[in-house]
Amino acid sequence: MPEVIIIGSGPAGYTAAIYAARAGYTPVVIAGSVTAGGALINTTEVENFPGFPEGVLGPDLMERMAAQATKFGAQVEFDDATEVELAGPVKRVRTGNGLEFTAPALVIATGSAAKGLGLAAEQRLGGRGVSYCATCDGFFFRGKDIMVVGGGDSAMEEAIFLTKFASKVTVVHRRSELRASRIMAERALAHPGIEFVFNAVISDIHGDTAVTGVTLTDTVTGQTSHRETAAVFVAIGHTPRSTLFADQVELDPAGYIVVHGNPAPGAEGTAYTTATSQPGVFACGDVVDHIYRQAITAAASGARAAIDAHNYLTELAAGGGLAAATV
């Protein structure tokens, strides 16, 4: 029986597995049946993950993380967690393949999904000009005209960031008012490298192997127009993958799992920074983080979750509770 179950196999999940396995446990990673490897599986070149000065392909990076976890003894199940029981000393996970795993500690690292526009072209051109992460892909569009969809803080932040590379950034927003905070909106509106198209949605994206342009539909008049662009950055929000845990750990209003966060000065050693509202259940990566959302920050929080789980198991053993939780 494993001492730790990890649900999710992005940078957070695999890093938690590496740390838990190196701490002497035999963690089980419920990696997902079709989504194993997390969001990086759908990216091409990753150039900002430390240690890879030449860059690394997203799928290769995840394969390396998986190999590192299994090398130290983690068991990876390419299966989906479909049911969880998190209350009480024994955490129980049932899977799509009909397996059941139990352990005294559990790490949730299920990530979040970038919301899409719902266009068929997003499938065809994902990673070929359609992107959901400016930090990841902006660099590839140096000197090009690019578009950003959305009117929130993410869209403003991405648009401003992309002006470093693009010859021009056009923000397309479906209403006439931005949702973004005033300071972000003002900064973007005043930026000479950013043009705004209000009251418009992208109703189609053109190109076979790379984005060449879009069809814009005016949300007031219904009129359509064509615009050339080399890339479309979709920044219309993220959905944390927390539904499975919704009634068992505390979520914030946007659905992100609430964790303790950093302990107050002097409280180190008593607070688990990745602890959820359920004792023995820890959460890390994008399912708790709506700000940073980077592979490296997710990996870092995975390490913290494994260390927190280790400390929890140590305390449980010291109190005599571990034996009861592992039968």
**Residue ranges that bind ligand NAP, judged by CB under 6 A:** 117, 149-155, 157, 174-175, 179, 181, 201, 236-237, 290
From 60, 79, 80, 136, the catalytic residue: 136
Query: Can you list the positions of beta strands (E) in the chain?
Result: 4-7, 28-30, 45-46, 56-57, 75-77, 81-85, 91-95, 100-103, 105-108, 112-114, 130-131, 145-149, 168-172, 194-197, 200-206, 213-218, 224-228, 231-234, 238-240, 281-283
Nearer to ligand NAP, 294 or 326 (CB): 294
* Closest residue by Cα to residue 255 from 113, 124, 147, 122: 113
Active site residue 137: yes
CA distance 279 to 3: 14
Residues 6+ apart with CB under 8 A from 133: 43, 114, 233, 293
Active site residue 218: no
Nearest distance from C-beta of residue 251 to ligand NAP, angstroms: 15
Return the structure tokens found at 228: 């050339």
Nearest distance from C-beta of residue 283 to ligand NAP, angstroms: 18
CA distance 36 to 42: 11
Active site residue 284: no
Nearer to ligand NAP, 179 or 260 (CB): 179
Nearest distance from C-beta of residue 297 to ligand NAP, angstroms: 14
Name the H helices within 257-294.
Answer: none
Segment (H or E) for 13: helix 11-22
Nearer to ligand NAP, 118 or 269 (CB): 118
Nearer to ligand NAP, 233 or 272 (CB): 233
Segment (H or E) for 186: helix 182-190
Return the structure tokens found at 230: 């080399």
Nearest distance from C-beta of residue 135 to ligand NAP, angstroms: 11
Nearer to ligand NAP, 66 or 148 (CB): 148
Contact 17, 29 (CB under 8 A): yes
Nearest distance from C-beta of residue 249 to ligand NAP, angstroms: 20
| Helix, strand, or coil (residue 151) | coil
Nearest distance from C-beta of residue 153 to ligand NAP, angstroms: 4
11-22 vs 58-71: helix crossing angle, rounded to 10: 20
From 80, 133, 153, 308, the catalytic residue: 133
CA distance 39 to 10: 7
Calculate the CA dihedral of residues 243, 94, 25, 303 and round it to 10 degrees: -10
Output the residue with the shortest Cβ distance to ligand NAP. 152
Distance, C-alpha 108 to centroid of its chain: 12
Nearest distance from C-beta of residue 148 to ligand NAP, angstroms: 10
Catalytic annotation, residues: 133, 136-137
